[in-house]
Amino acid sequence: MRYFQWLLAFSSLVVGISISSCRSARKIQTAITKKDTTVVVPVIDKKPDSTQYYQQVYQSVLGKRITNFQSLSGKVKVEYRGSDGKKPDFNANVRLKKDSIIWISINSILGEAIRAVVTKDSVKVLNKLDKIVQLRSIEYLQEVTKIPFSFTELQDVLIGNPIYLDTNIVSYKNEEKTVSLMSVGTLFKHLLTVSKSDYAPQHSKLDDVDVIRARTCDITYGDYETKTGINFSKYRKIVVSEKSKLEIELQFKQFDFNEQLSFPFSIPKNYKRQ
């Protein structure tokens, strides 16, 4: 896979839900039970005290979203595995200014191979190996991910916030160390599992409400480290399925919040536009 394709895989999978699943239409309970044997499907419980409990958990999850930052920078090791086997690992540098700009640089053994900048209204990509530049509107993310996706969702995935949370909680599961909430929104059925001690996300399972499209995505969070008062997940595993399963593991080898950052992006004159 060329590095430009790696960027698309990295960017779209970091987004969270990049590829439509080819699995036949099934209830989310069936999909979760067969695929995720360690996940117990929540049971429906409409008792007043139960409703009060899972609504309290939902509000606590919202309250623990990472919002008290101005910038993020990190070095990420990326492992990619597709239907044709594991690809060579590569490293990416990520810089983010809250609600403003995301900057990604992917390195090869020859140096920087790809540089990309995402803002609220644009996506710009420099393919330094082939000397190509792509300039797109933010709708390009929607073309890649095949969902109504914006800068905000991409920012949340990089920061480690769960996406597509919905107030429509239909069931929950209360276990010793975790609690799982099942919600149904306009786009996805979402099974979110969080730690009971601090409500940090542990696992997110998204399945398409539209059973004909049947998109699905699994995100696992781990290796938490607290820095400048922010509990940050340094490890993410993202799995999507289409005609075959695609996996990406992201390991933040270094990360810092609230530093002064630059976001250089200049287009050499000899680059071709696509």
Task: Pick 163 or 27 by higher pLDDT.
Answer: 163
- B/e letters for 206-244, b = 16+ CB within 10 Å, e = fewer, are bbbeeeeebbbbbbbbeebeeeeebebbbebbbbbbeee
Between strands 188-195 and 178-184, the pairing is antiparallel
Q: Do residues 71 and 95 touch, judged by C-beta distance below 8 A?
A: yes
Domain residues of the chain, as ranges?
A: 3-256
- The C-alpha angle with vertex 11 and arms to 39 and 243, in degrees rounded to 5, equals 60
* Percentage of the chain exceeding pLDDT 90: 44
Task: List pLDDT tens digits, range 47-91.
Answer: 557 788 888 999 999 999 999 999 999 999 988 776 666 666 788
Reported for 215-224, long-range contacts at CB under 8 A and 24+ positions apart, including other chains, are 215/17, 215/19, 215/20, 215/21, 215/146, 215/147, 215/188, 216/17, 216/21, 216/23, 216/31, 216/240, 216/241, 217/16, 217/17, 217/18, 218/35, 218/36, 219/16, 219/157, 219/162, 221/160, 223/251, 224/200
- Rounded CA-CA distance 145/113 in Å is 22
Task: List pLDDT tens digits, range 88-147.
Answer: 678 889 999 999 999 999 887 778 888 989 999 998 989 888 899 989 888 877 776 666
pTM over 0.75: yes
On the question of pLDDT at 2 being above 50, the answer is no
Q: How far is CA 264 from the centre of its chain?
A: 24
**Fold type of domain 3-256:** outer membrane lipoprotein receptor (LolB), chain A (2.50.20)
3 state DSSP class of 154: helix
| Cα-trace Rg, the chain | 19
On the question of pLDDT at 241 being above 80, the answer is no
What's the rounded mean pLDDT across residues 239-255?
A: 81
Q: Do residues 244 and 274 touch, judged by C-beta distance below 8 A?
A: no
Residue with token string 């698309």: 8
pLDDT for the residue numbered 48: 52
Q: What are phi and psi of 71, to 5 degrees?
A: -155, 160
- Rounded CA-CA distance 120/273 in Å is 21
Residue 69, token pair as written in the block: 């930052």
DSSP track, 114-138: EEEEEESSEEEEEETTTTEEEEEET
Per-residue CA distances from 91 to 109, 190, 259 (Å):
10, 30, 21
- Rounded CA-CA distance 45/237 in Å is 31
